[in-house]
Amino acid sequence: MTGFDFVRYFSNRSLKPRPLSELEAVLELLDNPQKRFRSIHVAGTNGKGSTCAFIASILMEAGFKTGLYTSPALFRVNDRMRIDGVPVEDELIAAAAFRVSEAEMEANVHLSGFDRMTATALCVFANQHVDVAVLETGIGGRLDATNVADAELSLITTIALDHTEVLGNTYEEIAAEKCGIIRNNQVVITHPQQPEVMDIIEDTCRHRNCLLLRVDDCVVEQEACSTEGQYFTVTTPEGATTPLYTSMLGAHQLDNATAALLAGRALHIDTACIQAGIERTRWPARMEYFPWDPDILIDGAHNPNAARALIKGLDDYFPGRFVVLIVAIMRDKDADEVMRIFAKRANYIIAVAVNERSLPPEELVMIAQRYTSAPTHISDTVSHAYVEALQFSVDNYGLQPLILVSGSLYLCGEMLRMLY
């Protein structure tokens, strides 16, 4: 049914995980699409999207028809479901979502919007005969809808304190939820972690007889970097050294690319395909640089760890630049700590709200004023915030201003829609 309103069908938002048994009942009626292709599962707090993009690109270079399921969407829902790098067409999503809705009614369950979207993506991938799908968790792992897939490889990116109202208030509690994606006898790859997090990952792998590969067991050396990209080498514990290049900016992307390299090696993919896949990876709103006049940098950092990585990137690539910050932060995020970190480098702050989940810009300004004496401004729309940033940059051209857009991927999506 190509006219089915899948956007509305997916709009039942709930952060609270529902029993996977309900989703599994629906998938059973759909002939278990998740069992009709290979899958790789990625959980964590920061770096999931970039790591998934690197892995998907490597798989495509190796000749696999590759599905990619990520969140959130920057532009439209279709961005979350890609096949060989291309967003899935409306007609394919609508037809699959309609079948999911029929199965949901037949199973007499009420799925969340994310459950429905995940089931739809799995159906699309199966219907289009992908060889392998890279699946990014929504929130957590153990009870996440993507955990219905029996992945052959699991990857845990950096874990930080985020979504604490759902996952727990400590690193240990959150790590336990994320490790819920790990299956028996898998290859598991992990980014560098806090010691208490690594203990839980290691313990889980030991109990489930998994081979654990650690990014921090590799030697990663940056050879050169500029706003055009980074040259670096990765030497594995076995002594194999691979030269790599990525156009993705930020030292944290080296960890993401190294994790993808380890995944490629675990899947027995040729080194040349790994190198080409990493080089060709593009992922929007991750230190995405527009060398315009004035320069613009867009990054979806929305928790303290990501904010720190962004500020380090500013210091590495744009030292001493006058930063005009356009910022929006969701209500469920640690806005106080994120703004404290941003205040270290922001010279002019423009606060805005992007949706009903946004913290009121007046509150953001109040928080910012606790940490900086930099001037602030409140805008009623993202477009007005951009105009204000441009005007300020023109009026203060001698300061070499850099417009930084951050705090929320939803904000980044709004800005990118205007720029593209």
- Residues 211 and 214: their CA atoms lie apart, in Å, by 10
SS3 93: helix
> In whole angstroms, how far apart are CA 321 and each of 96, 139, 341, 400, 404?
49, 35, 16, 6, 11
Among the listed residues 120, 88, 86, the one whose alpha carbon sits nearest the alpha carbon of residue 103? 120
- Cβ 155 vs Cβ 181: under 8 Å: no
Using an 8 Å Cβ cutoff, are 415 and 298 in contact? yes
DSSP string, 40-94: EEEE-SBSHHHHHHHHHHHHHHTT--EEEE-SS-SS-GGGGEEETTEEPPHHHHH
**How far apart are alpha carbons 185 and 325 in whole angstroms?**
47
Structural domains for the chain: 6-280 (3.40.1190.10), 288-419 (3.90.190.20)
pTM given for the model: 0.95
Q: How many other C-beta atoms lie within 10 A of the C-beta of residue 28?
A: 11
Q: Provide the 8-state DSSP code for 158.
A: B
Per-residue pLDDT of the chain (420 residues; tens, 9 = 90+): 567 999 999 987 665 667 899 999 999 999 999 999 999 999 998 999 999 999 999 999 999 999 999 988 899 999 999 999 999 999 999 999 999 999 999 999 999 999 999 999 999 999 999 999 999 998 878 889 999 999 999 999 998 766 555 565 688 888 998 999 999 999 999 999 999 999 999 999 999 999 999 999 999 999 999 999 999 999 999 999 999 999 999 999 999 999 999 999 999 999 999 999 999 999 999 999 999 999 999 999 999 999 999 999 999 999 999 999 999 999 989 999 999 999 989 999 999 999 999 999 999 999 999 999 999 999 999 999 999 999 999 998 888 999 999 999 999 999 999 998
Rounded Cα–Cα distance for residues 275 and 124 (Å):
29
CA-nearest of 414, 398, 395, 402 to 290 is 402
Helical ranges in 108-145 per DSSP H: 113-127
User: Residue written as tokens 């000749």?
Assistant: 63
Beta partners for 363? none
- Classified as helix, coil or strand, 105 is helix
Q: Is 400 helix (H, G, I), strand (E, B) or coil?
A: coil
Q: Which amino acid is at 380?
A: D
Beta bridge partners of 220: 234
Residues ≥6 apart with Cβ < 8 Å to 55: 40, 42, 134, 155, 260, 263, 264
| Tokens representing residue 367 in the block | 């928080």
